[in-house]
């Protein structure tokens, strides 16, 4: 850390703008559940299906949501009841378990996202062959605030890992990476970082820049893959990392998420658009999330590119608990409710001065804390 950076980090030097600082589902039949109420409170927690479906439970089938187009969910039939004789029309192909069918949803079923297990009944309509009546409790979910910061937007559910995909063109944003890391840590989801398009910048200056960018995350022992979807570099390593896990690709537009998906699943032929030369920003080639099964095992969700990632339902004072490198030092702070921003005898700031915490991660913490304060006051 430079002398100037260390001076900034001393007690009071890295002040934010202001120096201050699993509910169970209710018993109401067919009540709309909030995202946090869809999560299991323990491994043995189970959905009470009678709260959401009045019919015979033996009529229900269980499926996995793999895609969505408007009001229509594409559901992979996993188990449960089969359609009755005569269900299929002449222009339809009868499904076996493992096949996918279009479904529509009623009531709380409309909150289903990619990766959710849902209960449905076989029902023919103009749009679908099934009707979703309930969503199984989730192991976890990746949730962000919507563009206005007023409502939660669940991106995917029941994940093993979030892969944050970045690139050297457009330049990576550590602030966005850190927001994803916080959201994943809140929901106990493992993370990894993919840096794509490394073939474009392999001169000495960019190698040093790359090493500086990745140093904080290497220190956290986060898996990091350097890749080129165009050249195929790192592809086998990625395939191995995806085996036996349900993963999601997230990140800015234009970083190559869809190109990576095409490389992993030959013949998929998803649309790939060039980065806009006029703006230097990626264009949205993926507009909806889709879950794909991989040939060597594992499942991968490709999500639309985003401009920003707002943390949902995150009190500012809790943010420090999700910057994991702070945790070993936090118990040594003089104040039990230390925000690690301005308080005297702060062990986190002392660790920062001693280069035990990376300056960029700490400064991102301060920025995110300020943003959360602003959102709380709106």
What's the CATH number where 96 sits? 2.40.50.140
- The domain in which residue 165 lies consists of 156-302
pLDDT for the residue 378? 66
Measure the CA–CA gap between 140 and 351, rounded to whole angstroms. Answer: 32
Q: Cβ atoms within 10 A of the Cβ of 97, count?
A: 13
Task: Indicate whether 189 and 298 sit together in one domain.
Answer: yes
Task: Indicate whether 372 and 250 sit together in one domain.
Answer: no
Task: Indicate whether 168 and 130 sit together in one domain.
Answer: no
Domain final residue pick, 256, 272, 302: 302
Both tokens of 125, joined, read: 């309509």
Task: Indicate whether 124 and 70 sit together in one domain.
Answer: yes
Domain final residue pick, 256, 278, 302: 302
pLDDT for the residue 7? 46
Task: Indicate whether 61 and 171 sit together in one domain.
Answer: no
Domains contained in the chain, number: 3
pTM for the model: 0.84
- Residue 162 β-bridge partners: 191, 248
pLDDT for the residue 166? 86
Task: Indicate whether 291 and 328 sit together in one domain.
Answer: no
Task: Indicate whether 287 and 329 sit together in one domain.
Answer: no
Domain final residue pick, 302, 331, 362: 302
Task: Indicate whether 277 and 357 sit together in one domain.
Answer: no
Task: Indicate whether 283 and 323 sit together in one domain.
Answer: no
Task: Indicate whether 71 and 109 sit together in one domain.
Answer: yes
Q: Where are the beta strands (DSSP E) in 174-286?
A: 190-196, 224-226, 246-250
Q: Which secondary-structure segment (H or E) carries 178?
A: helix 174-186
Task: Indicate whether 77 and 161 sit together in one domain.
Answer: no
pLDDT for the residue 231? 79
Domain CATH for 229: 3.40.50.300
Q: Is residue 147 part of a domain?
A: no
Measure the CA–CA gap between 375 and 154, rounded to whole angstroms. Answer: 19
Residue whose C-alpha is closest to residue 201's, from 224, 238, 174, 171? 171
Q: Is residue 234 part of a domain?
A: yes
Residue whose C-alpha is closest to residue 362's, from 338, 340, 346, 337? 340
pLDDT for the residue 46? 86
Q: Cβ atoms within 10 A of the Cβ of 371, count?
A: 21
pLDDT for the residue 253? 78
Domain CATH for 327: 1.10.40.50
pLDDT for the residue 246? 97
Task: Phi first, then psi: give them for residue 79, nearest 5 degrees.
Answer: -165, -175
Mean pLDDT by 10 residues, the chain (378 residues): 45 47 37 74 88 92 95 96 93 92 92 96 95 96 83 93 85 89 95 85 68 90 88 89 95 82 80 40 57 92 81 93 96 95 96 96 96 83
Measure the CA–CA gap between 117 and 195, rounded to whole angstroms. Answer: 31
Both tokens of 199, joined, read: 């073939």
pLDDT for the residue 130? 97
Task: Indicate whether 73 and 111 sit together in one domain.
Answer: yes
């Amino acid at each position: 850390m430079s002398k100037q950076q260390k001076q900034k980090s001393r007690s009071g030097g890295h002040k934010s703008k202001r120096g201050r600082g699993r509910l169970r589902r209710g018993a109401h039949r067919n009540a709309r559940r909030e995202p946090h109420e869809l999560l299991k409170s323990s491994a043995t927690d189970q959905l009470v299906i009678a709260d959401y479906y009045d019919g015979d439970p033996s009529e229900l089938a269980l499926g996995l949501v793999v895609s969505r187009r408007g009001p229509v969910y594409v559901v992979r039939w996993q188990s449960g009841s089969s359609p009755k004789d005569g269900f299929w029309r002449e222009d339809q192909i009868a499904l076996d378990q493992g096949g996918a069918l279009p479904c529509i949803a009623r009531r709380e079923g409309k909150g289903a996202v990619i990766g959710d297990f849902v209960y449905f009944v076989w029902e023919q309509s103009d749009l679908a062959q099934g009707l979703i009546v309930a969503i199984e409790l989730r192991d976890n979910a990746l949730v962000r605030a919507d563009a206005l910061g007023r409502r939660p937007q669940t991106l995917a559910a029941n994940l093993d890992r979030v892969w944050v995909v970045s690139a050297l063109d457009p330049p990576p944003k550590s602030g966005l990476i850190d927001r994803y890391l916080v959201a994943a840590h809140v929901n106990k989801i493992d993370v990894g970082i993919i840096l794509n398009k490394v073939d474009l910048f392999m001169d000495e200056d960019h190698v040093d820049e790359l090493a500086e960018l990745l140093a904080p995350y290497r220190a956290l022992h986060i898996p990091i893959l350097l890749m080129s979807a165009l050249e195929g570099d790192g592809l086998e390593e990625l395939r191995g990392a995806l085996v036996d896990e349900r993963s999601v690709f997230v990140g800015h537009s234009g970083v190559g998420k869809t190109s990576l998906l095409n490389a992993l699943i030959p013949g998929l032929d998803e649309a790939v658009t060039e980065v806009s030369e006029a703006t230097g920003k990626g264009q949205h080639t993926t507009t909806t999330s889709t879950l794909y099964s991989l040939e060597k095992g594992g499942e991968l969700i490709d999500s639309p590119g985003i401009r920003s990632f707002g943390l949902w339902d995150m009190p500012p004072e809790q943010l420090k608990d999700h910057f994991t490198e702070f945790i070993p030092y936090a118990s040594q702070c003089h104040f039990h409710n230390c925000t690690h921003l301005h308080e005297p005898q702060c062990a986190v700031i002392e660790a920062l001065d001693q280069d035990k915490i990376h300056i960029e991660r700490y400064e991102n913490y301060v920025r995110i804390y300020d943003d959360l304060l602003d959102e709380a006051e709106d």
